[in-house]
Structure 1
């Protein structure tokens, strides 16, 4: 998982609406892997599907995608850190143009990696909307970029949002028997699952360690590093006043310390509509029509 400072990632936004009050609407598709897929245009030539990733920054394309992109020119190869390891080689292309809905960005840098969400050619981060309020509406399948908090917010619950190194964290509650364990979770739209727990926190709570294991899974990060997880099931998961029943929860197999952050993934995120106000320090959530959809069993 690659992190970029919102201030150091430089590009120019060319859009008349950016100076106006009217929100910008960007349609998306919700993929079978619970990812948000947005159609974009690179250098006014190449049409691609990119995953909107709330826990990453900048713009990356997969190796498969770059083979078919006519307009891209790479300048050098960098070494970057990802979720599963360090020392990953990544080709770098400067000075590109990105069209994202009605938004046009100039001087965009693009990095290359191996993988993205299934059915997507790469990903882009929340930093493209720095200083704005970002609405993710799964009912209408649209991102709405606001200058300010929208006035019509009926049914939304206001929750504190913690920002660390440009990453967004929310508090949730794991219900195990008669216990409710409160913990901080990274908002991670690139993770297809529901919840992924950090090693140190799991080690501190015997209730979690004693949950029956129902399956195992091997994950790959953007650079192909393999990560093995075990999956259990919670009685419920609490997000604000909302309560989700029988929620799958995963944790890493092997050495303590590999997974240092607990993750709130796409299989939970899609059950709410979101209004993210990073500047104000809050997120607003509203249960949507996917609230009671079956959780993924993979």
Structure 2
């Protein structure tokens, strides 16, 4: 009986041994994590929920001592444009905390979040549950969902080209709109609407415009946006008032997608299930959620 009881305790406590990865939330709302390449080069990597492989900037590559580039690839994509050619380094090791990842491919590109040397995405933790705790500044990588998962809103994910999309509700003028957003921790702002959605719903007329801004993705693609204020954004049961928003001008002929960025994401405890079928969200201490009633049913 004692052996069975001990086994039950060990099984119940299995995720006590989850990997805890400390991170720093930058002033640009990016998640920065220290890592070591090939046992020699210390780098600051951005955890980027819209990235599909490990990349380093050209500037960071020049400072490394352990990387060897043996080829190139034309299929490296960015969220702001088409595929690009990048130098590729194969068979590297990556150490994050106490865990060593082997046989890692690294691609070179132009940009990353300010103050970081490159980025990696959820695919590094394939088959694992990923938790993002902004209150404690840590990622939690584990084998199963936490026991308190019922306290979270469960929202379906749509996966497209290794990128994760979820739906949220928006107020634009007198309209309540359902829209799909790319979950993008690499973008430090609130939300971006794609140009088709902005045009069809006349966001330039319905939202107060406060200015203009130019964004550049990893390969220097320029995307011009108008800055505006969204009266209300509803994610699950949480309503966020006065969200900084933008809508695209340009990027004609490129990938066009709406983005949910770090200024919104940092207001939640976030859990991605192991299959990337659902995202679980619960407001945290940073949340600026409204006490007003929820929006009318989304349509």
- Shorter chain as denominator, the TM-score bin is 0.7 to 0.9
Residue in structure 1 matching 2:142, options 139, 143, 146: 146
Change (3 A) 1:153 1:228: same
Structure 1 position 180 matched with structure 2 position 164: no
Structure 1 position 93 matched with structure 2 position 84: no
Structure 1 position 113 matched with structure 2 position 103: no
CA deviations 1:188-222 (Å, max 9, x no partner) are: 11111111111222222135543232111111111
Residue in structure 1 matching 2:50, options 42, 52, 55: 55
Structure 1 position 260 matched with structure 2 position 256: yes
TM-score, normalised relative to structure 1: 0.86
C-alpha separation in 1, matches of 2:108 and 2:251: 29
Partner residue in 2 for 1:225: 221
Structure 1 position 122 matched with structure 2 position 118: yes
TM-score, normalised relative to structure 2: 0.86
- The answer to whether the Cα contact below 8 Å between 2:82 and 2:255 also exists between their aligned partners in 1 is no
CA deviations 1:12-31 (Å, max 9, x no partner) are: xxxxxxx9872111110000
Any gaps of 5 or more consecutive residues in structure 2? 1-13, 290-299
C-alpha separation in 2, matches of 1:82 and 1:255: 12
- The answer to whether the Cα contact below 8 Å between 1:203 and 1:209 also exists between their aligned partners in 2 is no
CA deviations 1:259-290 (Å, max 9, x no partner) are: 52111111100010101115272211111111
- The answer to whether the Cα contact below 8 Å between 1:21 and 1:147 also exists between their aligned partners in 2 is no
> How many matched pairs?
275
Partner residue in 2 for 1:28: 23
Which secondary structure state, in structure 2, belongs to the residue aligned with residue 67 of structure 1?
helix
C-alpha separation in 1, matches of 2:15 and 2:154: 26
Deviation at 1:178, TM superposition (A): 3.4
- The answer to whether the Cα contact below 8 Å between 1:51 and 1:116 also exists between their aligned partners in 2 is yes
Which secondary structure state, in structure 2, belongs to the residue aligned with residue 215 of structure 1?
strand
Deviation at 1:258, TM superposition (A): 4.1
C-alpha separation in 2, matches of 1:180 and 1:247: 15
C-alpha separation in 2, matches of 1:163 and 1:198: 18
Deviation at 1:78, TM superposition (A): 2.8
Structure 1 position 272 matched with structure 2 position 249: no
Which secondary structure state, in structure 2, belongs to the residue aligned with residue 248 of structure 1?
strand
Partner residue in 1 for 2:167: 171
CA deviations 1:108-150 (Å, max 9, x no partner) are: 1111111100000000010011111110000011000110111
- The answer to whether the Cα contact below 8 Å between 1:114 and 1:224 also exists between their aligned partners in 2 is yes
C-alpha separation in 2, matches of 1:255 and 1:84: 8
CA deviations 1:225-252 (Å, max 9, x no partner) are: 2221111111111101111111111111
Which secondary structure state, in structure 2, belongs to the residue aligned with residue 82 of structure 1?
coil
- The answer to whether the Cα contact below 8 Å between 1:78 and 1:90 also exists between their aligned partners in 2 is yes
Change (3 A) 1:157 1:90: same
Partner residue in 2 for 1:199: 195
Structure 1 position 134 matched with structure 2 position 130: yes
C-alpha separation in 2, matches of 1:69 and 1:45: 8
C-alpha separation in 2, matches of 1:263 and 1:201: 12
Structure 1 position 282 matched with structure 2 position 287: no
* Higher fraction of helix: 2
Change (3 A) 1:83 1:282: closer
Alignment of 1:7-26 (within 5 A): 22-26=17-21
